[in-house]
Structure 1
Amino acid sequence: MSSSGVNTTSSTNLDAINALKYSKILFIQVWCFTMFSFGTVGHILSIYVFTRRSLYSNPCSRYFLASAMTGLVVVCTAVPLRLLQFVYNIDVFMSSNVMCKILVWLLNWFKALPSWFIVLACADRFLCSSSSATIRAWSSIRVVTFATSLTILIVGLAYLHMPFYNRVNTASGCVMDPGTYTTFWGIFNLFIFSMGPPVCMLTFGLLAIRNVRRSVRRMIPSNTPTPTQNQLQHRQKATDRQLMQMMMIQSISNEVSNVLQAARLSLAASVTSFLTFGGACMSFYTFTLSSQLFRRVLIHLFNCQQRTIQVTSVNRNNRIQQNRLKTSAL
């Protein structure tokens, strides 16, 4: 082959490589900005909804609230850091070995928490739907506080090995040590992040559905409750039903997003690693689509804001009119 032919082939390959690199950077840029915008707004609105009086006293809502809060932390830290690293070549991970180890540990720790909080929500639905009063007693605010704190601690300890096997490499950045640990990390991440939460969600979800079906066949008590009790029970059952529906939809959403973690090749690896942030950003939108109760509280927020704006406008117009009357009287 002539030298001109070799040069042409090399030029073509170089163009193809540059095109792939540009496509990768463009995708990361668009995806990060999209996830940051939608994720931040969505989680803030989710936090508002789950802190309303009608939901805040429900243990399942507390788990959803914890998931939204940790998801907001992931969106506001991990997404900007990756954007700076891959698009603008500002790699905070490379500043020192200590920074590399700490950031890798913290980001993986908080990235795993939202899914495990959804697992706790699924477990709570199983507990509160049980026919046993002793088991139902475990669905309480006190248990939520303990279980949430314990989960944060356990997940953090589970990822504590990462700082010991990640270090700065001048050629490839902040990377884990090759060899046995890489194999261990693949298996560990498969069970702790990719497959563990979906399997637990599915298990508790099916158990909760079984309990609900059994409760439908229970005998109605002989002592008839008062109309007020009927209304309270109906309202509580409606809330529980909506929360269970949200739980199931969110479980499916988490499973789909976590399966994307399996691909680890070249451009596809970069794309799928960023797609996994979608699970931490999109919970608000799955809640909105799946729950009428969630939409009703959200609409109430916007109606209150609209009424506030209208009242402010009316008060401002009244002050203007009063000032005009005073001026004309003078």
Structure 2
Amino acid sequence: MATSLIQLGTEIRQITLPIIMFFGTLGNSLNIVVLTRPALYNHACSRYFLALACTNLFSASVILTFRLLSDGYRLDVTRTSIILCKTVSFFSQTSAISSSFLTVATSIDRFCASSSSVRLRSFSNVKVSRWVILFVLISIALFHLNTLILTESRSTDTLGCRIRGDTIYKQVYTIIQSLSYAIFAPVLMAIFGTLTIYNTKKTNVTPVAGARYRRTESQLARMLILQVITTILLAAPAGAGNLMAIMANTLSTTVEFFIAYVFCQLLFYASYTTPFIMYIVSASIYRKELIRLFHKISCRRGNGQINRMTNQITPMNL
């Protein structure tokens, strides 16, 4: 029975991970193109969404490839090289936590933009967003330098490429990692998301530009609220599962826990695909820009076909 359940978990990964990779790569690629269009690019919130799309694209296309090979087909390439082991672990962890904290940064930006305080609203601008994004990414990378040092692959056990909890420092470090996106990030998202909704309903902020700019800002706020909700629902279970896996208890060693952990992991990986769907559902400006993008591509394609047909027609010899 236990063997069949473990095999079921492997087969679920084999089927689900390629689907997540496909839609994650496609959706985030489209997000990058749409968010860099003039109608959206000059908004601070769009810069955070753009950074999030780049991070999710890397995770969906690169990190999940290693996960598919190791978890779905038992081809763990990180066992072949300690350098590859440490590098994959480093980028896997930093990209996952970066996605969560970039969403936190976006929530804070929307809170500032919706505030009745002129001083707080002044923090919601493109220049600040650049520095905040840089600060978030550098801080997470510096914190995870420990991963490059502590991660190891031993032939004496079956744990593979990971940090062993054989010292108090390693145990505390891995617990902080899990707490950061299982509790800290979701709590911050919920707090600033709620405050943003409160500010939006309570006050009518004096505009800094025209009505079109205000409408776009309002739609960006809706995009953020839906993104926060889906991130919390999809990421929190995986973080809780990691915490339980780290702690020494009988539950974390059962086959039932393994199956539940697999589903929690897949839910977290699915969070790489949800922004594209949330943006389409919540913002007409995003839908319009996406339609314009497809129309522009189809027009270029049509003109290219016409040009090729024209070049193939040769004048008749008279």
The secondary structure found in structure 1 opposite 2:272 is helix
Aligned counterparts, 1:1-330, within 5 A: 16-170=1-155, 171-172=157-158, 173-179=160-166, 180=168, 183-185=171-173, 187-216=175-204, 233-261=210-238, 262-263=240-241, 264=245, 265-320=257-312, 322-323=313-314, 326-327=315-316, 329-330=317-318
Question: Structure 1 residue 43: deviation in Å?
Answer: 0.5
- Any conservation in 2 of the 1:100–1:168 contact (CA below 8 Å)? yes
Shift of 1:142: 1.3
Q: Give, as a single letter, the amino acid of the residue that structure 2 aligns with 1:194.
A: A
Structure 1 Cα separation of the partners of residues 102 and 163 of structure 2? 27
Distance in 1 (CA, whole Å) between partners of 2:143 and 2:39 is 35
CA contact (8 A) 1:167 1:174 kept: yes
**Conservation of the 8 A alpha-carbon contact between 2:226 and 2:282:** yes
Find the residue that maps to 2:196 and give its secondary structure: helix
SS in 2 for 1:139: coil
Q: 2-side partners of 1:160 and 1:20: how far apart?
A: 36
CA contact (8 A) 1:111 1:280 kept: no
Distance 1:104 1:204, change over 3 A: same
Deviation at 1:182, TM superposition (A): 6.4
Query: CA offsets, 1:48-68, max 9 Å, x none?
Result: 110000110000000000000
- Whose Rg is larger? 1
Asked if structure 1 preserves the Cα contact closer than 8 Å seen for 2:9 and 2:262, the reply is: yes
Q: 2:48–2:102: 8 Å Cα contact kept in structure 1?
A: yes
Report if aligned partners of 2:63, 2:88 keep a CA contact under 8 Å in 1: no
Query: CA shift at 1:187, angstroms?
Result: 3.5
8 Å contact from structure 1 (residues 165, 181) kept in 2: no
Question: Residue 167 and residue 318 in structure 1: after superposition, are their counterparts in 2 closer, same or farther (change >3 A)?
Answer: closer
Partner SS, residue 138 of structure 1: coil
Larger CA deviation: 150-159 vs 185-194: 185-194
How many percent identity over aligned positions? 26
- Aligned AA for 2:190? L
Could you list the runs of 5+ residues in structure 2 that have no partner in the other structure? 246-256
SS at match of 1:244: helix
Partner Cα separation in structure 2 for residue 96 and residue 22 of structure 1: 27
Question: What amino acid is the match of 1:199?
Answer: V
**What secondary structure is seen at the aligned counterpart in 2 of 1:238?**
helix
Note closer, same or farther for the CA distance 1:21–1:212 as it changes in structure 2 (3 Å cut).
closer
> In the aligned structure 2, how far is the partner of 1:197 from the partner of 1:291?
24
Separation (CA, whole Å) in 2 of partners of 1:40 and 1:306:
21
1:288-313 C-alpha deviation (Å, 9 max, x unpaired): 22221111111111111222223233
